[in-house]
Chain A
Amino acid sequence: METPNPYSLLAELTYRCPLQCPYCSNPLELNRFRTELDTVVWHRVLDEAARLGVVQVHFSGGEPLLRRDLTDLVRTARQLDLYSHLSTSGLGADQARLASLRDAGLDALQISLQDSRPHENDWLAGVPSFEKKRRAIESAKRLELPVTLNIVLHRHNLDRIDELIDLACRWNVDKLELAHAQYGGWAFRNRAALLPTEQQVGRAAEVVADARDRLIDNLEIVHVLPDYFQQFPKACLHGWGRVFLTVAPDGAVLPCQTAREIPGLVFPNVKDTSLEEIWFHAPVFQRFRGTDWLPEPCRSCDRREIDFGGCRCQAFLLTGDVAATDPVCHLAPQHGVVEEALNEAANQSTDLRFRVFAS
Chain B
Amino acid sequence: MKSESPLYYPVFAPGARYRWDEVRQQHQIVFPEGVLVLNESAAAVVRLCDGRSTEDVIVALREQIGDADPSRDVREFLDRLAKKGLLRDGDS
Q: Which residues of A contact B (CB under 8 A)?
A: 5, 7, 51-53, 55-56, 81, 83, 85, 107-108, 110, 144-146, 148, 172, 174-175, 217-218, 220
The 5 A-B residue pairs whose C-beta atoms are closest, nearest first, are A146-B15, A53-B23, A108-B32, A83-B30, A144-B14
Residue from the list B24, B33, B85 in contact with A56, Cβ < 8 A: B33
* B24 near A5: Cβ-Cβ < 8 Å: yes
- What residues of chain A lie closer than 8 Å to B21, measured between beta carbons? 53, 55
Residue from the list A7, A51, A107, A148 in contact with B17, Cβ < 8 A: A107
Please encode chain B, from 54 to 65, with 1 for each CB lying within 8 Å of some chain A CB and 0 for all others: 000000000000
- What residues of chain A lie closer than 8 Å to B17, measured between beta carbons? 83, 107
* B35 near A7: Cβ-Cβ < 8 Å: yes
CA distance A319 to B18 in the complex (A): 45
CA distance A353 to B22 in the complex (A): 47
If over half of B's interface residues share one DSSP class (helix, strand or loop), that class is named, otherwise mixed; here it is loop
* A107 near B32: Cβ-Cβ < 8 Å: yes
CA distance A72 to B69 in the complex (A): 46
- What residues of chain B lie closer than 8 Å to A172, measured between beta carbons? 1
CA distance A52 to B24 in the complex (A): 10
With both chains docked as a complex, state the minimum distance between the C-beta of A212 and any C-beta of chain B, in angstroms: 14
* B32 near A81: Cβ-Cβ < 8 Å: no
Which residue from chain A places its CB closest to the CB of B19 in the assembled complex?
A81
CA distance A82 to B47 in the complex (A): 18
* A146 near B23: Cβ-Cβ < 8 Å: no
B52 within 8 A of A: no
* B23 near A107: Cβ-Cβ < 8 Å: no
* A53 near B24: Cβ-Cβ < 8 Å: yes
Question: Do A146 and B14 form a contact, CB below 8 Å, given A53-B23, A81-B19?
Answer: yes
Please encode chain B, from 23 to 62, with 1 for each CB lying within 8 Å of some chain A CB and 0 for all others: 1100010111101000000000000000000000000000
Residue from the list A53, A146, A217, A218 in contact with B32, Cβ < 8 A: A146
CA distance A97 to B13 in the complex (A): 22
With both chains docked as a complex, state the minimum distance between the C-beta of A331 and any C-beta of chain B, in angstroms: 30
CA distance A218 to B35 in the complex (A): 21
B2 within 8 A of A: yes
* A174 near B15: Cβ-Cβ < 8 Å: yes
- What residues of chain A lie closer than 8 Å to B14, measured between beta carbons? 144-146
CA distance A110 to B35 in the complex (A): 17
With both chains docked as a complex, state the minimum distance between the C-beta of A137 and any C-beta of chain B, in angstroms: 14
- What residues of chain B lie closer than 8 Å to A85, measured between beta carbons? 32-33
Residue from the list B23, B30, B32 in contact with A175, Cβ < 8 A: B32
